[in-house]
Structure 1
Amino acid sequence: MTEQQEYQVVQAHGDVELREYAPCVVADVVVSGSAEEAASAAFRPLFEYISGANGGAESLAMTAPVIQQPASERLAMTAPVIQEAVGPGEWTVSFVLPAGRSLSEYPPPVNPRVSLRAVPGETAAALRWSGRWTSANIARRTEELRQTMADSGWQESGAPRWARFDPPWKPPFARRNEIVIPVRGPVEGSRA
């Protein structure tokens, strides 16, 4: 079974889970295009990195999910992070790297388009869904998650990210997709 990003479910409200994510390390690529095109454009350089196109010529296991978000909206950090907007239609696509290593223990990428970064643990709300990866589905599911968060008293604290767990050849009805939005913690006293 493919290793997946570690988290614990803290609360549930219908189809939405409040999760505590463990810290992780990701490999990122910024690409241009539509939401639908971004993952395809980023896949090759990211896959080449985990396949040995790195300073240690080391192969790394493929993990899940593949994470995508607008490039101007990075994952929330625990300290201030300053970032210039890259522009509309640009996306950061990330592979979560296998757990058990710190950022400095991963081999450096050979491709200058690939960068590595440590992502701190966080509390986030997540909605799992199946189907095609389209802008319309992403927008609809993001709004559904935001509405459940508002109904539950969970306060959004960062930009949404979208996660894919399955290869593109898997039938859409069987694919696992998620919308994940960071939540300001603690959430004790929320209505879930």
Structure 2
Amino acid sequence: MLGAIVRTAGQVADAAAATVGIRCGTEEPPHTTQRLSGAVEIRRYDERIAAETTVSADEEAARNEGFRRLAGYIFGGNHRDAEIAMTAPVAQQRGTTIAMTAPVAQSAGSPGEWTIRFLMPSKWTMDSLPTPNDERVRLTVTPPATVAVLSFTGDRGTRAVSRRTDELLTALRDSDFEPDGEPAAWFYDPPWTLPFRRRNEIAIPVRQRLAD
């Protein structure tokens, strides 16, 4: 009885936290971390499975539409009416593929193709995941990756993402790592989260810099 009460209390607390935009128990992909400087670190990720969709729109509109499509899939919009737990982060990049890579340059508000991705919880495999009802949603395997990551809070609009991307590229110029792909924007919190509580990241695939 006590266990049931504790579980119920925990569920109520999680629901209340989610309402005000606080992350509770959201699975993130496992990785190793190496601090590079200040807010920048090097992470190494293993192979992961993702659901993704591509949207033609400006950056923020594409993010919202992509999130809606993918949320539909994990909340039962699939051939088994199965619900799949939400994970973090939600990834966004320009282009039609999203294996931890993305476009570097983008002018504020410019239209284009953007791919939005939800990582699938680790318990799922490509064989066990249900097929999306929406043909615009696809399942894909993302390969292992080494990425440089810059974390920031607050604004995550087009200009903020562009500015933080420049910061990360600048930090890499004086490091032992060099870019090996294009940046992606990662978002860990829902839109209604208070800005100072938001966890946002820019991630760029990297490789060890060769000695001159």
Contact 2:98 2:117 in 1 (8 A): no
Question: 3-state SS of the aligned residue for 2:179?
Answer: coil
Cα distance in 2 between the residues matched to 1:119 and 1:174: 29
Aligned pair partner of 1:2 in 22, 26, 29:
26
Q: Does 2:124 match 1:117?
A: no
Report the structure number with the largest CA radius of gyration. Answer: 2
Give the CA deviation at 1:22.
2.0
The answer to which structure has the higher helix fraction is 2
**Structure 1 Cα separation of the partners of residues 205 and 62 of structure 2:** 22
Sequence identity, in percent? 38
Q: What secondary structure is seen at the aligned counterpart in 2 of 1:39?
A: helix
SS in 2 for 1:183: strand
Residue number in structure 1 paired with 2:45:
21
In structure 1, what residue type is equivalent to 2:89?
Answer: P
**For structure 1, which runs of at least 5 residues remain unmatched after alignment?**
78-87
**1:153, CA displacement in angstroms?**
2.6
Q: How does 1:155-166 map to 2 (within 5 A)?
A: 155-166=178-189
Question: Normalising by the residue count of structure 2, what TM-score does the alignment of the two structures yield?
Answer: 0.78
Give me the whole-angstrom Cα distance separating, in 2, the residues matched to 1:14 and 1:75.
26
Unaligned runs of 5+ in 2: 1-24, 102-110
Q: Figure out how many residues of one structure are paired with residues of the other and give that number.
A: 179
Question: What's the CA shift string for 1:40-99, capped at 9, x where partnerless?
Answer: 11122101110111122211001111100002564269xxxxxxxxxx511000111101
- How big is each residue's C-alpha offset from its partner over 1:105-142, in whole Å with a ceiling of 9 and x where there is no partner? 21111100100100011110000001122111111100
- Separation in structure 2 between the aligned mates of residue 8 and residue 112 of structure 1, nearest angstrom: 34
> What residue is the counterpart of 2:99 in the other structure?
75
Change (3 A) 1:72 1:49: closer
TM (normalized to structure 1)? 0.86
Is contact 1:13-1:152 (8 Å) kept? no
**Alignment RMSD, CA only?**
2.1
Q: Which residue of 2 aligns with 1:143?
A: 166
Judge conservation of contact 2:34–2:42 (CA < 8 Å) in 1.
yes
**Mapping of residues 60-99 of structure 1, within 5 Å:** 60-72=84-96, 74-75=98-99, 89-99=112-122
Map residues 175-190 of structure 1 onto 2, 5 A cutoff: 175-184=198-207, 187=208
Q: 1:52 aligns with which of 76, 89, 112?
A: 76
Tell me the residue number matched to 2:10: none
Q: Which of 172, 176, 180 is 2:195 aligned to?
A: 172
Runs of 4+ in 1 over 4 A off after TM superposition: none
